[in-house]
Chains A and B, each alone.
Chain A
């Protein structure tokens, strides 16, 4: 009997024009969605459950984020997670990846799962790092960027692309695995599942509820200090052709290549 925790994050929708705030960090306002990479983590959890590779009792989705971030949890439970937990607290604002990973690890400890899954990167921050931070705080083995995983008893065999080719690594559970988008094709939630999602338990916690040390989170508790943003060196803009007439487009491409003696 096992439990899987899936760590999810709400990110700005891909269609939203993103910008950097005065503090040098991403401005995360605007329309939000579940981080696309996290849908692969949820799918991986569901496949382990449905295939019987693990006798999974429960899949629990956890997020840390401001009020409103439970939209990501609704999506997670509509995809098949059984219940969800939302840690929201003003004291968390400005947390860096280490502080966020610490808070997530404290939430994981309350659940004591056998396996923690998450997406390897967020669509916005793209730090690839939070899974390794969570594993470190738990004292568990962790692997990131996993594209294939098999479970046999308490041993997970995982594959990933590393610096020199494909690596195959075995880890003993409990463990923290972050997954890439090549691991599976996430399902779409059914209308019924979307309607039913709101009935699944959603637990809201503050940092005090979760026993999180306030001095280790938020802008104050974060050791990476983001400064203001600046413009990169200007680069000459490229030429863009909108294809309306393929013959003409091809003529333009050939002329462009020919001018640069590339043919």
Chain B
């Protein structure tokens, strides 16, 4: 029992970067366990090229299941079927909403265990040990499994590594469960609001719920304007869900991953779902009136105070400095 299953999320002909990271990680771990990484893709229109490309990230097999994409139940059906037909001890998911959802369903169906938000996995004594940061990442707990183990990575924790070449695609026929028949995707990947580019900005001013109201995004825009050409404005999930900013400008778990030279958070609490999308920024500055906000745990410069007073003054000071 040493092979590892990996679920590869895909959309519009491309495999998700976090899934590729999961494949590379599974391939390395499976090698240490004396097994292989086998990748399952679920969808109705997956080309041979896309499915077979998982081999270039270390997968030994690409297993394609013709079933609806975008919801968890068919993924659980597919992975449970494959797991039942072969020798598998673990399944690894690259994170994201479907990773959590399908991973949890699979663990329950197979009577196994699940570990989520995993930042690292190693082999110890012939089994996997998963590392789970807890309490705002101030501690790391380790999790082992008794029976089938499901590992769901934290976003961006597992890096894709190219190794190997494309593999032949095997089609696997799966009988879908009743629950799968009761879920239908109406629209997927809808972009709401204007198309803004936050991934190329060198300076990113990010607005959170602490801005108080949508009009106050002008504070962020003015500050970005003071920095000049390569500066942009982004938002947290909370601000986007409130309708204050377009989805394309959202940083975090269900948004973009950014790594600017300078990140400035205005009224951003710094929840872990946000942190995973911006922690690689070179310098992190936070202005927030709540001294207990998690962002102060990882900001390089934390300013505890009223952003509504500080930000306009900062904008003027930077303008003056730049002349």
Chain A residues within CB distance 8 Å of chain B: 18-20, 24-26, 96-98, 101-102, 126-133, 135-137, 139-145, 147, 157, 160-172, 175, 180-182, 222-232, 235, 238-243, 246-247, 249-251, 253-254, 256-258, 260, 262-263
Contacts and interface: CB of A to CB of B under 8 A. Distances in A.
A98 B112 contact: yes
Nearest to B152: A129
B144 A225 contact: yes
B267 interface: no
A167 B139 contact: no
Nearest to B190: A166
B116 interface: yes
Nearest to B96: A163
Given A97-B114, A136-B109, A240 B304 contact: yes
Contacts of A101: 104, 108
Given A132-B72, A223-B145, A250 B108 contact: no
The 9 closest A-B pairs by CB, nearest first: A243-B305, A224-B113, A223-B113, A164-B189, A182-B241, A129-B104, A132-B104, A172-B182, A136-B108
Contacts of B5: none
Nearest to A175: B182
Interface of B: 9, 11-12, 16, 70-73, 76, 96-98, 100-105, 107-109, 111-117, 129, 133-135, 137-149, 177-180, 182-192, 203, 227, 237-238, 240-242, 247, 254-255, 261-262, 272, 283-285, 291, 296, 298-306, 309-310, 313-314, 317-318, 321-322
A187 B276 CA distance: 31
B100 to A, nearest CB: 4
A250 B180 CA distance: 56
Nearest to B300: A238
Given A26-B134, A98-B108, A136-B108, A160 B97 contact: yes
A167 B300 CA distance: 35
Given A162-B189, A243-B304, A251-B317, A96 B113 contact: yes
A224 B143 contact: yes
B74 to A, nearest CB: 11
A120 B232 CA distance: 31
B108 A133 contact: yes
A241 B303 contact: yes
Contact of A253 (B12, B137, B180, B314): B314
A262 B283 contact: yes
B293 to A, nearest CB: 11
B304 A223 contact: no
B250 to A, nearest CB: 8
A183 to B, nearest CB: 9
Contact of B135 (A18, A249, A263): A18
B104 A130 contact: yes
